Amino acid sequence: MQLQACALLGQHHVVTMFPPLVVHSAFVHRCGRTARIGHGGSALVFLLPMEESYVNFLALNQKCPLQEMKVQKNTVDLLPKLKSMALADRAVFEKGMKAFVSYVQAYAKHECNLIFRLKDLDFASLARGFALLRMPKMPELRGKQFPDFVPVDVSTDTIPFKDKIREKQRQKLLEQQRKEKTENEGRRKFIKNKAWSKQKAKKEKKKKLNEKRKRKEGSDIEDEDMEELLNDTRLLKKFKKGKITEEEFEKGLLTSGKRSVKTADLGISDLEDDC
């Protein structure tokens, strides 16, 4: 990953911005943290080649011209050493992961999203620049593949803290998690289907009501016969109230498995007596 540096010229204290501030209006204010009370100072912001238009944007929008600082040659590659430090101390490993996550999230929320576009960011190169041992799990990386990034062939869970107190606390937490996992092993969690659950409850309620009615009446009628009897009763009530015709009533009885009944031979008084 090639970085281009742009600086406000000065002689003394330096303010470094990496990545560029999410709120561009705060850029000048951040630069103002140096060169105070008549003293000189410098502000340095690191930009990728695809972000060069940010220089013109600041010049026009914030009236803040920047001057390019050439990248030095023959620099020392510190990444192998940083990786070794991360493998030896979990504190270094976690700092690298947090820095990477913060950078990506800041990039995603940048106000100048036409310049700082997350989809154009080279995540693999960025991860190597932060000396990461593996890619972190975060929403911005979900579903992406990184063939140019090779994670270390070591389980990062085994990396200890150099600080013995922190490592002791971590081991205690890991032991607790292992214990909980063992206790929960073999248990299956079922998520009830609410619609199915309600339907089942409704059927059970209906069944209980039928059983209660049987006990009350001392009836030996089977469930199917009881259901048929209830259907006939409903049809009869509808016929009495004039909601259905004689033909519909007769057809309903035939459908429920009853023998055909000629309702023409029945008077309203007879129907009332049957009810």
The verdict on 92 and 152 lying in the same domain is: yes
List phi, psi (to 5°) of 55. Answer: -65, -50
The verdict on 18 and 83 lying in the same domain is: no
Q: Are 154 and 133 in contact (CB under 8 A)?
A: yes
The verdict on 92 and 139 lying in the same domain is: yes
Which of 48, 69, 90 delimits the end of a domain?
69
Give the distance, in angstroms, between the CA of residue 110 and the centroid of all CA atoms in the same chain: 22
Which of 69, 104, 126 delimits the end of a domain?
69
- Asked if residue 196 is part of any domain, the answer here is no
pLDDT above 60 for 269: no
Give the distance, in angstroms, between the CA of residue 151 and the centroid of all CA atoms in the same chain: 25
- Asked if residue 200 is part of any domain, the answer here is no
Domain that holds residue 125: 79-177
**How much is the pLDDT for 226?**
66
**pLDDT, tens digit, 9 for 90 and up, residues 196-247:** 566 677 778 888 887 777 666 655 555 666 677 777 778 788 878 888 888 8
> What is the number of domains present in the chain?
3
pLDDT above 70 for 13: yes
- Asked if residue 54 is part of any domain, the answer here is yes
Rounded to 5°, the CA angle 143-148-150 comes to 90
Distance CA 253, CA 196 (A): 31
The verdict on 240 and 167 lying in the same domain is: no
**How much is the pLDDT for 175?**
92
Which of 37, 69, 101 delimits the end of a domain?
69
- Asked if residue 169 is part of any domain, the answer here is yes
Cross-strand pairs, 8: 43
- Asked if residue 95 is part of any domain, the answer here is yes
**pLDDT, tens digit, 9 for 90 and up, residues 74-115:** 888 899 999 999 999 999 999 999 999 999 998 898 888 888
The verdict on 173 and 239 lying in the same domain is: no
The verdict on 45 and 97 lying in the same domain is: no
- Asked if residue 267 is part of any domain, the answer here is yes
The verdict on 51 and 96 lying in the same domain is: no
Helix, strand, coil in percent for the chain, rounding step 5:
55, 5, 40
**How much is the pLDDT for 249?**
76
**pLDDT, tens digit, 9 for 90 and up, residues 36-78:** 777 778 888 888 888 889 889 888 888 888 888 888 888 888 9
The verdict on 126 and 55 lying in the same domain is: no
- Asked if residue 10 is part of any domain, the answer here is yes
The verdict on 89 and 64 lying in the same domain is: no
Give the distance, in angstroms, between the CA of residue 26 and the centroid of all CA atoms in the same chain: 31
> What is the residue-averaged pLDDT of the chain?
79
Classify strands 4-8 and 41-47 as parallel, antiparallel or unpaired. Answer: antiparallel
Distance CA 7, CA 67 (A): 5
**How much is the pLDDT for 32?**
78
- Asked if residue 86 is part of any domain, the answer here is yes
